[in-house]
Structure 1
Amino acid sequence: MEKKLLMIVNPVAGTKRLRPLLLDVISIFSAGGFATTVMVTGRRGDAAEFAARGGDFDRIVCCGGDGTLNETISGMLDAGVTIPLGYIPCGSTNDFASSMGIPADIKKAAHAIANSMPLPLDVGKFDDSYFTYVASFGAFTAASYNAPQDVKNVFGHAAYVFEGIKDLGSIKPYYVKLVADGRELSGEYVFGAIANSTSFGGVVKLKDELVSLNDGMFEVLLIKMPKMIGDLSVIINSLTSSRFDNDRFEFFKASELVVTPAEPTAWSLDGEYKRTEGAVRIRNLHGAINFIK
């Protein structure tokens, strides 16, 4: 019996490279035994709405950038849709796809979705919102939502690095209190990330051996406020080498955190802007999504 697949497409994601390959992708799914229904997003929120109505399908496939994937997963979780989810990355940097080892080649990604079995994937809960791979604040965070789309299309990852470097000239500390699995800490930080990924913010990368995407734990990275000019060099070198074993960083794992900045704070959830006031509760929803790669 032919299975049903819902394909959610963001037509303006990244360089729009899916468009000329759309029929090829549908043919790949058809060869895998799937009858494909395509739904195209036209505004923010469409992907979540389409995903919430996807319970009658056998598989959902998200085609877009990290923001489209975030919407799709949010819609599924809010509606209690538990069917397997696949992702064809079509955005500018696709941090999440890189962490998951999802092929950058669209046809290869489609073949994997049609022929692979799902695996459990952790998802982050940020108060009433969700994130797939990172919630971050401070330096570099604005790079994820401020880099112009046309610049991201041309330069990809480098666009985020350029935007992040601009942040360093106006670096600002955030006084933050955290409770992480009962452990309390506080201080002035220029960047903080609660992540389930080896790459986030377009700038920060973690070594593969440090990260598991389905262990029920976040990787938490905090960068302390530089006290001297030399500290800035240490921070940049550490980010470049992905080594955080010095006193400018806090790096640890946690499954649940309460983060309380001293002032209203701009966060990035999977590259999307969110402003908060007061404490936020961040939880790891262990194995919340059945993910195909």
Structure 2
Amino acid sequence: MKNALFVYNPVSGGHRIPSELDFILSSFQEKGILAQPYRLTDANSDYLINALQSGVYDFVAASGGDGTINFVANLLLNNDIKMPLGVIPSGTCNDFAKCLGINSLKESIDIILQGETIMCDVGYINNSQYFLSTFAGGNFVDVSFNTNSELKKNFGPFAYYLKGISEVANIKSFDLKITADEHIIEGKFLLFLIVNGKQAAGFPNLLKQADYTDGYMDIILVKKCSNINLASIFFKVLSKESVNDKNVIILKARKCELSSKMPLALTVDGERSELFPASIEFKQRILEVFVPIEEINNIS
């Protein structure tokens, strides 16, 4: 029998996981995997690190939103723990899970049980924190923690869109300098996104050609523009069209540096951040994750 450590955030997704706990544990047990549950709290993470380093567990499965998955991935990477990570989505957007081709809790269990893994890229900010899907700054990035929890429960990612629309009248541009490989760009912007994969901020297929194994980050810069032009950009995103717009700059880079003279709202995988100015390096294929067989075929 294999052993797994099941780390879960009890409050993610409207306290969903506690009600699904028996289903998750029994699903593993029926396939010969003894899953030890670990309830994430705000307490010290030393016990969790010790458990991950103990050699007892064959893999770790993490359930929660993007912030929870980020937390567990950082423990693995910062402590050089070589162990596959299973992603069981239970947050609002679940960007990283969807980038991996994982669309539901039940599907994620089946994917882990199939046992197929891949090595994926991660971003590394200021030599201190890894991110899995998105590092963002500027307008709208704080909607995830300013949106009413009941609204998120009832509407899912659409709650963020509603909150974002309500803030359009208050948006302000900011000065930004970005050096991305050989590119140097300076100007006034409304938003920047550093993305690993096709989905960010709950928007599916935001970058249809993005690849989380190629060693490159995708950079999206939204220039200062009128509310009408901004609405046009949002409409293209919501309609799942290609973000081809004169007010949007899209770059690929292995390394980039960002700075601004103005204070910015920042998020790392949907959680508040103060890592700015930011120096970002993409680490190619350093995190092992369970994925659907189709993803392996697509990458290959």
State whether TM-score is above 0.5. yes
User: Aligned residue for 2:6?
Assistant: 7
Q: 1:52 to 1:210 in 2, by over 3 A?
A: farther
Please, which moves more after superposition, 210-219 or 185-194? 210-219
What is the deviation of 1:76? 0.8
* Superposition pairs of residues 104-115 of structure 1, within 5 angstroms: 104=104, 106-115=105-114
User: Aligned residue for 1:63?
Assistant: 63
The one-letter code of the counterpart of 1:236 is F
Contact 2:254 2:282 in 1 (8 A): yes
User: Aligned residue for 1:96?
Assistant: 96
Please, which moves more after superposition, 215-224 or 162-171? 162-171
Moved over 3 A (4+): 204-209
The one-letter code of the counterpart of 2:234 is I
User: Aligned residue for 1:17?
Assistant: 16
Question: How far, CA to CA, are the matches of 1:53 and 1:281 in structure 2?
Answer: 32
The one-letter code of the counterpart of 1:161 is Y
What is the deviation of 1:41? 1.1
* Per-residue Cα deviation, 1:51-78 (whole angstroms, up to 9, x for no partner): 5641322100001111110100111111
Aligned length: 287
1:215 to 2:214 alignment = yes
User: Aligned residue for 1:147?
Assistant: 147
**Residue 291 of structure 1: which of 282, 289, 292 is its match?**
289
Unaligned runs of 5+ in 2: 292-300
User: Aligned residue for 1:236?
Assistant: 234
User: Aligned residue for 2:255?
Assistant: 256
1:263 counterpart SS class: coil
TM-score (norm 1): 0.91
Unaligned runs of 5+ in 1: none
* Per-residue Cα deviation, 1:128-152 (whole angstroms, up to 9, x for no partner): 1121100001122011221122221
Contact 1:136 1:192 in 2 (8 A): yes
Question: How far, CA to CA, are the matches of 1:182 and 1:51 in structure 2?
Answer: 39
1:275 counterpart SS class: coil
What is the deviation of 1:229? 5.2
Percent identity of paired positions between Structure 1 and Structure 2: 25
User: Aligned residue for 1:224?
Assistant: 223
* Superposition pairs of residues 276-287 of structure 1, within 5 angstroms: 276-277=275-276, 279-287=277-285
Question: How far, CA to CA, are the matches of 1:44 and 1:174 in structure 2?
Answer: 36
Contact 1:32 1:115 in 2 (8 A): no
